[in-house]
Amino acid sequence: MTVDPVTYRSIAPVQALPKVDTSSLFSENVHAALSPVDQFIANTTAINLVFVPYNDPNKGWKTELGTLVVLGYVSAVESFMRAMIAGLIEIDEQSRRLAGPKSVTFAAATHTNSGRLLTEALLENISFSTKGELEKALREFLGIEKLPADIGQALDEFRKLCELRHCCVHRFGKLGSQNAMRLGYEAHEAIIEHSFSPAISDVEAIADALQIIVKTLNNFIFSAIIDRTVLASLEKRISWNWSWNYSADKKRFLKYYNFFSARDGALKSPDAKEIYDSFRAKHRVMVLGWAKKGMMIASHP
């Protein structure tokens, strides 16, 4: 038996490098037909399997699992936003118009046959992992400029959790000085270079917070997008109008309802007709006022 001579170039013994076939590591997206919020629920339900078993006090909790949960949950939020914007560009006329001037790479344009895949390619270099990036995406792709207080608070909380993710990705859970500054230096100065060590209750709180953030965003974007169709149709900025009769509007309304509604999980969306009736009631006064204004103009040429 031949033994290789000791050499300082191999201070840490290493075996032959295996070749990883990356093309065999991906499978079809089984959640593609779901609404973005239901995709998020499906993805995070799978992530929950990492830590839920440790609610059993007889099982020893490993804090490293908390790192995996944070990584998975924040990635699920990014995936939610990507699916949200890509889908709205397909179904919403005003969002599609905003996306019109955006550029895609030559490779994407020449190798993508599907319109949906081309839209995904449009978002290829867009990140959704910080509050600022989310605000920019809402503004540039969906035309949503003003955010109400509850959305600002949700995004502030998301920003904090993104800092935890940054620690987990780039520093194996250790808190860096820049992370400490963004999180609040006075409260975090003493724990710089400490390792992320959440209890299972902490991980559950983070998971709950991100669930609430996503559903809050989903509800806000739905109301912002569908509300603006009313004035846009009255001002002829889009090519169709609401009739305010559910039977006549049902097909168009369901495009939005199905895209935003939560049909999986413990808390499901109300019936489409209930949502439509609420939408119609909200805009009834404005629509009647607009109609009255039109009649006045017509009677005084």
* DSSP-assigned states of every residue in 167-207: HHHHSTTBPPHHHHHHHHHHHHGGGTT-B----HHHHHHHH
Gyration radius from the chain CA atoms: 25
How far is the C-alpha of 143 from the C-alpha of 127, rounded, in Å? Answer: 17
How far is the C-alpha of 298 from the C-alpha of 234, rounded, in Å? Answer: 15
> CB–CB of 233/291 below 8 Å?
no
**Contacts of 283-288 spanning 24+ positions with Cβ under 8 A:** 283/227, 283/230, 284/244, 286/230, 286/231, 287/230, 287/234, 287/242, 287/244
Q: What is the pLDDT of residue 171?
A: 82
Q: What is the pLDDT of residue 33?
A: 82
Q: What is the pLDDT of residue 264?
A: 82
Q: What is the pLDDT of residue 295?
A: 41
Q: Which amino acid is at 237?
A: R
Q: What is the pLDDT of residue 115?
A: 60
Q: What are phi and psi of 195, to 5 degrees?
A: -90, 145
- At what angle are helices 64-91 and 115-122 packed, to 10 degrees? 120
* Percentages of the chain per state (helix, strand, coil), in multiples of 5: 65, 0, 30
Residues in the chain: 301
Averages of pLDDT over each 10 residues, the chain, 301 residues: 74 87 80 89 91 78 86 92 92 91 70 65 79 90 92 92 86 86 90 89 92 96 95 89 93 96 87 95 79 45 44
Query: Any idea which residue has 């305010």 for tokens?
Result: 244
How far is the C-alpha of 260 from the C-alpha of 243, rounded, in Å? Answer: 21
Longest dimension (CA), the chain: 106
Taking the whole predicted model, whether its pTM rises above 0.95 is answered as no
How far is the C-alpha of 148 from the C-alpha of 63, rounded, in Å? Answer: 36
Q: What is the pLDDT of residue 298?
A: 37
